[in-house]
Structure 1
Amino acid sequence: MAGSSQQRVKICLVLCLVGIVSAAEYSTSSSSTTSSGSSSNYLLNPLFYVSKCPRALDTIKKLVTNAVLYEPRMGASLLRLHFHDCFVQGCDASVLLKDTATFKGEQGALPNVNSLRGFEVIENIKAELERQCPGVVSCADILTVAARDSVVALGGVGWPLGLGRRDSTTASLSGANSDLPSPFLNFDGLVAAFQKKRFTVNEMVALSGAHTIGSARCLLFRSRIYNATDIDSSYAEELKANCPKQGGDSNLSPIDTTSKNVFDSSYYTNLISKKGLFHSDQQLFSGVSAALQVKTYSSFPLLFKFDFANAMVKMSNLSPLTGNQGQIRNVCSRVN
């Protein structure tokens, strides 16, 4: 009886994932007709570019896939870029704006400075789309689609996306400093940071799985490997070889020590073994309900991918600009 029940769970997971992949493929191979209304409230549409720029999504996917094949770490960088964009003013490409003599952007914020990467990939995609369809595809949509395609390129599943975001003409340095979750947060701090953006604890645990890919600087985990008690001692010693007590702030270590370039659930297995790189990572295993979810994802990787995809759909819908709001930037790093 238990075996048949477990089989039904597995079948359900597979069917759910097939649905996500199918929907994602639908939105990748199609684009959208723009609605003629000038209202800024109309819904994002997976078909937004189908008549105005029919090759837009295929172009983004091709260039992202090539970039990730050339440097697998770029997949994590593009995913993080989207996250750091949406968590501040919403998914409006504000994170891409560079400082000017009269403007201070978000790239100089503490969570971003000397840390965010992938800007050149986004600009290359934008330049190609400007050649195909001038003034049509927003940088905000490019960021959103590139995040999904990066996950797919590294072994994750896709998710359906509404399109039609527009680009902001402003940025918020203070918002980037206050709203982006720190790797030093305790469990309650993490919950508060995600609840501020209306994510549940379950969604927070799922989104944290983005750390199954990518690397981090010694500066961000040094205090953990030298002072924490909730860390595997042999793991800490391995990290110390590349992260001394002094110096080497920019030395990199994989966040997921098992499979840093594969989008899988080993991140959660590592937490069970006390091998979370960040203090905030390991904190997920300190909350009772979160710890149970960590164990579940470790045992059922398809469930993790399904929940991550659902949470990313919600992420992509954080306060987008639509209609006549904002603009379509000609170059992603500056306003027109």
Structure 2
Amino acid sequence: MKEFELIKYLTNENSQNCDLLRMGIGDDCAVIKNKVDDWLVTTDALFEGVHFDLSYTPFYLLGRKSLSVNLSDIAAMGGEPLFYTIALGIPNGVNPENLKKMYDGMNDVASLYNVAMIGGDTCNSQSGLALSITLIGKVPAKKAILRKGALSGDAIYITGTAGEAALGFNCFQKKRTGSDVERFLKRFNDPEPRIKAGKWLMSQNIVTSMIDISDGLSQDLSHIAEDSKVGFKIYADNLPLSQNFCSVARELDIDPLKLVLTGGEDYELLFTVRKNDADRFEALFKKNKDDIGCLITKIGEITSDKDERLIVDKKGNLITFDKTGFEHNI
């Protein structure tokens, strides 16, 4: 069974009827009502052999990444991170010094975003190292940006550049090194959560839906489309790419566009803005881009047909792939 099918199957009968719950299962974070600031709660797990390989992800960077991917969920709601807990499954024979390096990585990221560790759990693992982090944040009451909310005609935007983490992963797999690929290797091992951009987008009261890119641009945009009951059209030639992205991908015999659309683990923000607000939004971004800290690019539009998932080139020709992104088989 596919990952998202299993989630629906397991949670279909779970009660969401709680007066304190503003948003439960089905978004980047749960949203819990409060008077001034709503609470945000998210959990992400990383398993050795599934999410990371210690042969090319050292313990220090594993610590950084494990917290950063959770921070990205908070960013996707427009929130501010506050506290986290960590549960560890530790296999026999792991050097405590390596675990300390992992915690050093987490601590360094936590200090960047003023996040405090407040507890956790440890136990033995019979099948590799496992980490699960639960992160708690806040957002002004009723201001969390959800996946649902996009309407036909909305403009689709992305922060930063896409596909680089997937290219970095392929560089590790194919032992491609060198100064020209360091950016891609770093994007895979040490992603930057867009906390600053997410908070700014929330504060403008102009974004209609948002998600972070963890499983692939096309697949994560499909989550917005499904929850909002709309379709989308992506203009492939508008996708923001770094300077040598295409040349390195082709050197590795990989389709650059496929990496951008289906690769995953970019942890950029993907969001929508009303068509009538798009010009004003872009003007606001130009005035504040130094504070936001990343590029923002319009890449497509929301359509009315809820079954429509279109990717087109500059001539209007349809582009198709055999998959839309990463999904666990369970």
Range class of TM-score, shorter chain: under 0.3
Higher helix share: 1
Query: Higher strand proportion, which one?
Result: 2
